[in-house]
Amino acid sequence: MIYKSAKRFFLSVFSLLIFSILMVSCKTDGDTKTLFFAHSLPITHPVHLGILEMQKSLNEKSGGKLQIKIFPDGQLGTEREVLELLQIGSIALTKVSAASMSNFAPEYGVLGVPYLFRDSEHLFEVLEGDIGKGILAGGTEFLLRGLCFYDAGSRSFYTAAKPVETPEDLKGLKIRVMNDQMSVNMVNALGASATPMAYGELYTALQQRVVDGAENNIPSFVTSNHYEICKYYSIDEHTLTPDVVVIGTKYWDNLNDQEKEWLQAAAKESVEKQKRFWKETIAENMKVLEAANVQFFEPDKTLFSEKAKVIMTDLMKDPKMGSLIEKIKKQ
């Protein structure tokens, strides 16, 4: 544990030193300003494709005056580490799960409540309305400003040794979750033993049976190659937690009004294209999984939602979060 903590510390310091140098030499080049965008997904992922559209759109709208340079594949650290780099101004942009943002801005936590949203249409009706705009703005006091939400589909369980068809099947299993308290509470409530772990460490952990399974969406299941080990995927769709594009306020506050307009418009324009990429990727991924002999199960979701109700009940004890949940349920 001491070794891992020291390793994370030195990696963060190293990244900070490198980017302190880059900021001086690469932030501006004549009339061109470059924003560094780091995220943890591979370049084949539909969310990365959405980011490419944002990059292209921003370049066109600004006439090349404001550009994005992308660092994918976790090159600069985990989601939490990159968010911390945004807060201190080492890099400008990132894409993280809304669950990761909840560790910094509590309002994002409502987006990870199991079975709160009826379907993806309901989710985006909320995200693209006043509630979603309020959540995006909510991180500002923590030096993190949300620009837009991306589709991250639904999260379901996948396992190596046996399928999960009821919550009873989760008993005794170690299930990897994001480093997010709500994810931990949800998986524990469903009967498994939640095991927070960095996404980049999960393949080896599954291979060595450190954990028995995980929960994620189909594209991440495929691009991570976890399907090579886990041959059971149970479509319980416990959450519809979206991804969010975030800019550090240290960068945002230094953009002029025109640059802010270009960036916000490019982010918004990329959303619809990213949704399309997501649907196309799901169709392609299913062919890959069928060829790999992955077995799919469609359990009775009410069995899972009943056990997970305690998460929503506990969260509603907070007046602010309770009010937010009620507004979402009514929309």
Whether residue 64 sits in one domain with residue 127: yes
Whether residue 318 sits in one domain with residue 253: no
Whether residue 277 sits in one domain with residue 295: no
pLDDT in tens, 190-238: 999 999 998 889 999 999 999 999 999 999 999 999 999 999 999 999 9
| Tokens read off for 128 | 């693209």
Whether residue 139 sits in one domain with residue 6: yes
Whether residue 39 sits in one domain with residue 177: no
pLDDT at 261: 98
Residue-range definition of the domain harbouring residue 47: 2-106+119-151+242-282
Pairing of strands 155-159, 213-216: antiparallel
Residue 112 lies in a domain: no
Whether residue 68 sits in one domain with residue 160: no
CA-to-CA separations, 2 to 5, 6, 7, 8, 233, in angstroms, rounded: 5, 6, 8, 10, 35
Q: Is 168 exposed, middle or buried (0-12, 13-18, 19+ CB in 10 A)?
A: exposed
Whether residue 93 sits in one domain with residue 166: no
**Residue 156: Cβ within 10 Å count:** 25
Whether residue 320 sits in one domain with residue 261: no
List the one residue out of 175, 137, 169 whose CA is nearest residue 155.
175
Q: Write the CATH number for 98.
A: 3.40.190.170
Structural domains counted in the chain: 2
Residue 111 lies in a domain: no
Round to whole Å and give the CA distance between 76 and 92.
12
Residues 6+ apart with CB under 8 A from 317: none
Output the pTM of the full model: 0.87
Whether residue 297 sits in one domain with residue 195: yes
Residue 93 lies in a domain: yes
pLDDT at 22: 46
Q: Is 313 exposed, middle or buried (0-12, 13-18, 19+ CB in 10 A)?
A: exposed
Round to whole Å and give the CA distance between 173 and 195.
10
Whether residue 173 sits in one domain with residue 92: no
What 3-state DSSP class applies to 313? Answer: helix
Whether residue 259 sits in one domain with residue 177: no
Taking phi over 0 as left and psi of -120 to 50 as alpha, with beta for the rest, 143 belongs to left
Residue 81 lies in a domain: yes
Residues 6+ apart with CB under 8 A from 230: 158, 159, 160, 206, 213, 214, 221, 294
Residue 252 lies in a domain: yes
Residue 305 lies in a domain: yes
pLDDT at 149: 98
Q: Is 257 exposed, middle or buried (0-12, 13-18, 19+ CB in 10 A)?
A: exposed
* In 116-256, alpha helices (H): 120-127, 130-138, 181-189, 202-207, 218-223, 249-252
Residue 31 lies in a domain: yes
Whether residue 248 sits in one domain with residue 229: no
| Tokens read off for 15 | 């990244």
301 within 8 A of 117, measured Cβ to Cβ: no
DSSP string, 245-310: EEEEHHHHTTS-HHHHHHHHHHHHHHHHHHHHHHHHHHHHHHHHHHHTT-EEE---HHHHHHHHHH
59 within 8 A of 270, measured Cβ to Cβ: no
Round to whole Å and give the CA distance between 93 and 109.
20
CA-to-CA separations, 138 to 7, 58, 102, 157, 166, in angstroms, rounded: 32, 24, 10, 30, 37
Tell me the CA end-to-end span of the chain in Å, nearest whole number: 45
Round to whole Å and give the CA distance between 167 and 304.
6
Write out residues in the chain with pLDDT < 50, as ranges.
Answer: 1-11, 13-26
Question: Residue 228 has what DSSP assignment?
Answer: G
pLDDT in tens, 61-94: 999 999 999 999 999 999 999 999 999 999 999 9
Residue 113 lies in a domain: no
